[in-house]
Amino acid sequence: MAEDANPFESLQSQIDEAATHIDVADDVIERLKYPERVLETNLTVELDDGTLERFKAFRSQFNGDRGPYKGGIRYHPQVSRDEVKALSGWMTYKTAIVDIPLGGGKGGIVIDPDNYSESELERVTRTFATELRPLIGEDRDVPAPDVNTGQREMNWIKDTYETLENTTEPGVITGKNLASGGSEGRVEATGRSTVLAAREAFDYLDKDLEGATVAVQGYGNAGWIAAKLIDEMGATVVAASDSSGGIYNPDGFDPVAAKDHKNETGSIVGYEESEEEITNEDVLTMDVDLLIPAALENAIDADLAEAVEADVISEAANGPLTPAADEVLEGKDVFVIPDILANAGGVTVSYFEWVQNRDRFYWSEEKVNEELEGHIVNAFDALVETYEEHNLDNPRTAAYVVAIQRVANSFEESGSWP
Ligand SMILES: NC(=O)C1=CN([C@@H]2O[C@H](COP(=O)(O)OP(=O)(O)OC[C@H]3O[C@@H](n4cnc5c(N)ncnc54)[C@H](O)[C@@H]3O)[C@@H](O)[C@H]2O)C=CC1
Ligand SMILES: O=C(O)CCC(=O)C(=O)O
């Protein structure tokens, strides 16, 4: 298992590294390294057997200089205050690199949803929504899905908020289903940007995506869609894993059938096209052209990075590399497309959902995907321009240079209170 780095410290070291390449004053950088505020709350919820259980929950509002705080809500036993703070910081620089008028936030509940019934999860979610009510709103803070949450939870939060506020405000949350005001293309958006960014990187590096081999770690929303779309672009997905283990076929397998198998059995392990069952570490260190980490933070530490053989990494997950791993991979000339760009499709289409909710006018899937592609290609071009102009060794630093500069500009141009 990879050694754990504190994700909040990882975020701060990424900011510090980028800060050495930009002309932003130290006191402004200091402001950009910490959340503006963090809600820590305890949700007391009645279980189906009538007993009460307490769940710790957080919402971090990192930065609102460029617009309302924006970012997902995660349900996971490892959710912690520092994790949520880091994730909200990454959201701030993510919305900046893709240049959408939003800030950064993130939330989470310390819970393993597999251990609770649907009605218990609904009560937990509605209790959290009640706690969040004074903080959120379409012009204040707009949550969305993340690990182990999806349309169902977003619909519950919207309904709770609208009921308590006695209003209609679908833009208070994104990632809803279509009937509740969701957007076409939101479910696929994170995986879509991961592969669009990979396509741009392959083009930049003069590498052929057609026939390229791909390994995907994590087969949830982000990972499986990335596998499906990269397969459609002509690449060959040879390995994938989820929390139960991995599958491998040197000739490639059908990502959709692998997902069907996971839906039926709970895991991709045992999928019939797999020639060999492999470990999660095998997936991360496989000799492939493209590696897509799509699970959780700290998947690759410095030791594992020594064994990584991929040429390009497109980070669907947030924070999958520790800073020490980043350094090792930089030394090995692995081109890492940073999370804040690679997985920014999710928040970009969330932004489109928010725009559509406010306009009460809905777009076709074709328009959503076309607009998304424009934002990702522009962000990649901005990264490359800065990468070359500053002669940087790490694309992540280039992305942060662009993003920090944009957030700092908004802050500085708003003037100051006496
Ligand atoms: N859902 C979204 O719109 C967005 C998600 N992300 C990031 O993508 C990553 C994955 O999120 P989702 O796909 O939404 O979550 P999900 O809950 O749909 O899927 C997570 C997947 O990771 C697997 N997993 C967990 N631990 C693992 C391990 N140690 N080894 C291998 N697989 C493991 C799970 O089995 C599951 O297949 C997270 O870092 C999340 O923050 C980023 C941007 C947007
Ligand atoms: O769709 C959103 O607003 C945020 C998605 C998210 O949590 C992320 O990009 O990490």
Higher pLDDT, 203 or 414: 203
The finding on whether 68 has its CB within 6 A of some atom of ligand 2 is no
135: burial class by Cβ within 10 Å (0-12, 13-18, 19+)? Answer: middle
d(Cα 117, Cα 186) in Å, to the nearest integer?
Answer: 26
Average pLDDT over residues 86-115: 98
Expressed in angstroms and rounded, the spacing between residue 163 Cα and the centre of ligand 1 is 31
* Dist CA 123 CA 54 (whole Å): 12
Look at residue 1 and tell me whether its pLDDT is greater than 50. no
Distance from the alpha carbon of residue 287 to the mean position of ligand 2, in angstroms: 30
Which stretch of DSSP H or E encloses residue 335?
strand 335-337
| Cα–Cα dist 337/358, whole Å | 32
pTM, whole model, 2 decimals? 0.97
At 175, is the secondary structure helix, strand, or coil? coil
Q: Is 332 a member of any domain?
A: yes
Ligand with minimal distance to 348 CA: 2
User: Can you give the pLDDT at residue 258?
Assistant: 97
User: Are 224 and 257 within 8 A, CB to CB?
Assistant: no
**Measured between alpha carbons, how far is 190 from 343 in angstroms, rounded to an integer?**
5
In angstroms, the CA 106 to CA 142 distance is: 9
Which amino acid is it at 82? D
Does 106 participate in catalysis according to the annotation?
yes
pLDDT in tens, 35-62: 999 999 999 999 999 999 999 999 999 9
- Asked if pLDDT for residue 417 goes beyond 90, the answer is no
pLDDT for 3 equals: 56
Identify the CATH number of the domain in which residue 261 sits: 3.40.50.720
Pairing of β 104-110 and β 213-217: unpaired
Do 41 and 72 lie in one domain? The reply is: yes
Strands (E), 133-177: 141-145
**Ligand having the closest approach to the CA of 353:** 2
3-state secondary structure 24-53: CCHHHHHHCCCCCEEEEEEEEEECCCCCEE
Asked whether residue 144 falls in the same domain as residue 115, the answer is yes
Is the pLDDT assigned to residue 418 strictly greater than 90?
A: no
415, pLDDT greater than 90: no
Predicted pLDDT of residue 414: 85
Query: Residue 264's pLDDT is what?
Result: 97
DSSP string, 91-160: HHHHHHHTT-S--EEEEEEE--GGGS-HHHHHHHHHHHHHHHTTT-BTTTEEEEE-TT--HHHHHHHHHH
Could you say which DSSP state residue 59 is in? E
Domain residues for 65?
35-169
Q: Is the CB of 146 under 6 A from ligand 2?
A: yes
* Pairwise CA distance, residues 267 & 247, whole Å: 10
What separation in Å is there between the alpha carbon of 415 and the centre of ligand 1?
39
Q: Which two tokens stand for residue 346?
A: 């999710």
248/328 same-domain check: yes
Flag whether 123 is in a domain.
yes
Residues 259 and 286 in one domain: yes
Q: Which atom of ligand 2 is nearest to the CA of 90?
A: 10
According to DSSP, the β-strands at 52-63 and 104-110 are: antiparallel
Is residue 2 predicted with pLDDT exceeding 60? no
Q: Are 319 and 338 in contact (CB under 8 A)?
A: no
Residue 4's pLDDT is what?
Answer: 78
Query: Which amino acid, residue 30?
Result: E
Q: Are residues 211 and 139 in the same domain?
A: no
Rounded distance from Cα 59 to ligand 2 centre (Å): 13
Q: What confidence tier does 413 reach under pLDDT thresholds 50, 70, 90? A: confident
Give the integer Cα–Cα distance in Å for 269 and 399.
36
Written as one letter, the residue type at 412 is E
Q: How many domains does the chain have?
A: 2
In this structure, the answer to whether residues 192 and 164 fall within a common structural domain is: no
This model of the complex carries an ipTM of: 0.98
Other beta carbons within 10 angstroms of residue 177's beta carbon come to: 14
Of 203-217, 379-393, 403-417, minimum mean pLDDT range = 403-417
Q: What is the mean pLDDT of the chain?
A: 97
Tell the residue nearest (CA) to atom 2 of ligand 2.
Answer: 347
103 lies in the same domain as 231: no
Q: Whose CA is nearest to atom 4 of ligand 2?
A: 71
Do 113 and 254 fall within a single domain? no
Q: Which of 350, 352, 357 to mutate to test the pocket of ligand 2 (most atoms within 8 A of CB)?
A: 350
The CATH number given to whatever domain includes residue 61 is 3.40.50.10860
Give per-residue pLDDT as tens, 148-188. Answer: 999 999 999 999 999 999 999 999 999 999 999 999 999 99
- Cα 226-232-236 angle, rounded to 5 deg: 80
Query: What is the DSSP code (8-state) at residue 72?
Result: E
